């Protein structure tokens, strides 16, 4: 049994993925679940973005996208579709990368996940090195306190969790607020609107599990 598990984050640029190109066109941030590759060569994509943002129209005009379905939930739109374009992340998945979440930001991508053991990490890094535009951003050991049971994990993305945690630690939730939203956003190195969006989505995910 291998006891060591490492959390890793990859930054991706220059990918021809429809979602990457759509966010480059619209300037949006899109949160996505790990893509599911099908035997027929198509990839199932599930993701969400701001409502009434023009994202649906851009994807609908992309010939690589099929069976696009859009459902609105409050201020967000949830998307499901098939893509004919292979996803770069599958090259890392094939050698042992356990992808947890993907975020598309203005044409670039960030993969967050884990690898089990140094040997698997080496294979993933070699695969990343052979893939144009993939670089390792962060890597750290997954501790026992971070590895919650699957049934008890919050239904929020790592980016939303970081927004909630940073806001809490900086005193954003205190009365009166110890810091402004712009200060928390600067700490996270994102824009104020992106921080507030992640905060609202994270709160909705946590409250939904607490009270739903």
- The pLDDT value recorded for residue 212 is 58
Token match 């696009």: residue? 68
Q: What is the pLDDT along the chain (212 residues), one digit of tens a residue?
A: 556 788 889 898 888 889 999 999 999 889 998 899 999 989 999 999 888 789 999 999 999 999 999 998 777 889 999 999 988 888 899 999 999 889 999 889 999 989 988 888 888 888 888 887 888 888 888 765 555 544 445 667 778 888 898 999 999 988 888 999 999 999 998 988 889 998 988 888 777 766 65
- The pLDDT value recorded for residue 62 is 95
Structure token digits, residue 205 = 């995910």
How many angstroms separate the CA atoms of 154 and 208, rounded?
10
What is the domain partition of the chain in residue ranges? 5-141, 155-211
Structure token digits, residue 150 = 């699957």
Kindly write down the DSSP assignment for every residue of 86-135, as one continuous string. PPTHHHHHTTT-EEEEEEEETTEEEEEEEEESHHHHHHHHHHHHTSTTEE
pTM, entire model: 0.66
Alpha helices per DSSP H over the chain = 18-26, 55-60, 89-93, 118-129, 158-170, 181-188, 192-211
Segment 43-96, tens digit of pLDDT: 999 999 888 789 999 999 999 999 999 998 777 889 999 999 988 888 899 999
How many angstroms separate the CA atoms of 71 and 140, rounded?
36
How many angstroms separate the CA atoms of 110 and 100, rounded?
11
- The pLDDT value recorded for residue 139 is 84
113 CB burial (10 A radius; 0-12, 13-18, 19+): buried
């Amino acid at each position: 049994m291998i006891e060591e598990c490492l959390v890793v984050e990859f930054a991706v640029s220059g990918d021809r993925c429809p979602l990457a190109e759509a966010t480059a066109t619209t300037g949006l941030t899109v949160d996505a679940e790990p893509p599911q590759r099908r035997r027929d060569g198509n990839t199932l994509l599930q993701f969400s973005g701001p409502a009434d943002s023009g994202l649906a129209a851009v994807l609908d005009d992309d010939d690589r996208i099929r069976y696009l379905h859009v459902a609105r939930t409050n201020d967000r739109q949830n998307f499901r579709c098939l893509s004919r374009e292979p996803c770069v992340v599958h090259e890392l998945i094939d050698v042992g990368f356990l992808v947890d979440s993907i975020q598309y930001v203005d044409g670039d991508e960030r993969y967050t996940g884990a690898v089990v053991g140094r040997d698997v990490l080496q294979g993933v890094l070699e695969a990343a090195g052979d893939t144009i535009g993939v670089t390792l951003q962060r890597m750290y050991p997954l501790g026992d306190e971070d590895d919650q049971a699957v049934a008890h994990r919050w239904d929020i993305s790592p980016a939303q969790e970081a927004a909630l945690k940073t806001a809490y630690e900086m005193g954003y939730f205190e009365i009166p607020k110890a810091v402004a939203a712009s200060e928390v956003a600067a700490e996270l190195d994102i824009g104020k609107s992106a921080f507030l969006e992640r905060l609202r989505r994270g709160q909705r995910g946590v409250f939904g599990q607490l009270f739903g």
